[in-house]
Amino acid sequence: MSFKLFYNIAPTKNNISNAEPNELSFIWNDNDNFGISLRRTDIHDMFDVLGMDYEWSESEKDSLVFVNVGSIPHQSERFEQVVKETSEKYKKAIIYTSQEPWQLNYIEKILDKYENIILMDNSVPVEGKQLLDRYKPFPFMILRMLSIPSNIMMVYPQLNYNRIKQKYNCLLWNWRIEKHVCLSYLKKNRLDINNLITYKKYNEDLIAQDNVIKRIDEFFKGWGSEQDEDKKQMMNYSKKLISSIEDFNLDNDIRLEPVFPSINSSFRALPRYVYESTAFSLVCESFCGSSWDFDENQQSYYKDSQAFITEKTLFPLMNGHPWITFGEHDFHKAMESYGFRVHDELFDLSFDSETNALNRIEQITEIIKDIDLEFVSRNLKYNKSETHKKILHNKYQMFNRNSFLWKKLKLQFTKYMDEILEL
């Protein structure tokens, strides 16, 4: 089936005006090397990667109207202004991002207020379930990683597993609360020593230290530090770390030459030694902020626990590197649902079902502390090992369009588009 993609200016152009490049949020790849806005959208890139037929149309009738909001914070006035203008302008439209996840309480608020709006963010639906008729979560980052217009990629097809010197790499560049918490647990247990870690301090020009301390305080208290002395001590350690920690950079980092912006969200490349010198990747995924609810027995449960699958997890997988992720509840389970195989032969992944984020990172820390470097290295070097078979399987899932992953993604996306046209 061929779908029609509506445009109001020209094909490939977004149906709204984007943020200026010097603002905090903008649509990735909407700017050229000199920061000039091209007003480009990427929805057609997603159709291209999935191998779906489409045509551009100037007629709104029987067309899919996409409005790309990029990284605009969905809690912001600007986001709601875009939704309001879109709702007034079009009979039916899809507010969409291939970059960010949104929280359910904001999604419900928008959908209740605007009956002709469909929301589509970059996350994985809960166990494949669709919570709301006009909310269509989809793991767009998997598509972006294989889209040449969306990303500048560097993947190493064959790593040399004979050069392993360190247990793991953990890349915590660009400050986020979950990254700082992850580093806090690693440093408190002295697991930062003799391992490859990057870290970037928060931007003092954008956020005050008092506000950073407040966020750490809220994060820990939200996961029970008031009732747990060990968590309280870790919270205090994490807050003190803010004042003393310095940036950790990669040696011989890859740079684009000659004229690319210093910040380029689409550039995804790491030096080869990141993978060849370490036995596995400890990934700190971005959190999407799942919400709680209570069942008929007043037992709490995650209402919309959903993995935010980003390049952080996909990149080691694509490069043939074992990985373990500190992400949302049931993150590894979500990866398995898309056909990937997790490395439970190396790591005890029972933490994945733990609902408390602090308990998860604490358990991951213990796993790393106890794992034997020689054991992992031996599994990597032996081409008939379970680890080696999973590496090959996962790369096949990503790079072969006949894999279970791509069949599922295309089927799910096509179902979404058909449902939207029926609304």
pLDDT bucket at 265, cuts 50 / 70 / 90: low
pLDDT (mean) for 133-144: 94
Q: For the residues of 214-264, what is the DSSP string, one character each?
A: HHHHHHHHHTTTTT-HHHHHHHHHHHHHHHH---B--TT-----SS--S--
Q: Rounded mean pLDDT of the chain?
A: 88
DSSP 122: S
Contact 15, 57 (CB under 8 A): no
Q: What is the pLDDT of residue 262?
A: 45
Global pTM value = 0.91
- Residue scoring higher pLDDT (78 or 128): 78
> What pLDDT score was predicted for residue 173?
87
Higher pLDDT, 404 or 131: 404
Token pair belonging to 103: 């929280």
Q: Cβ distance 98 to 141 under 8 Å?
A: yes
pLDDT for 16 equals 82
For residue 141, pLDDT over 70 is answered with: yes
Name the residue with higher pLDDT: 308 or 119: 119
Q: Which token pair is 212? A: 């950073």
β-sheet bridge partners, residue 152: 267
Where residue 258 falls among pLDDT bands split at 50, 70, 90? very low
Determine the Cα–Cα distance for residues 160 and 320; give it in Å rounded to an integer: 10
Our CA angle for 110, 47, 42, nearest 5°, is 60
In this prediction, residue 233 carries a pLDDT of 96
- Residue 259 has a pLDDT of 47
Looking only at the bridges linking them, the beta strands covering 93-96 and 117-120 are parallel
Rounded mean pLDDT of 125-143? 84
Is-contact 369 348, C-beta < 8 A?
A: no
- Model confidence at 88: pLDDT above 80: yes
Q: What is the pLDDT of residue 129?
A: 66
For 168, the enclosing helix (H) or strand (E) is strand 166-172
* pLDDT, mean of residues 245-271: 70
Mean pLDDT across 273-302: 78
Rg (CA), the chain: 22
In the chain, pLDDT over 70 holds for what percent of residues? 88
pLDDT digits (tens, 9 = 90+) for 5-50: 999 989 999 998 765 555 545 677 676 655 666 788 999 999 999 9
Give residue for tokens 């279970």: 404
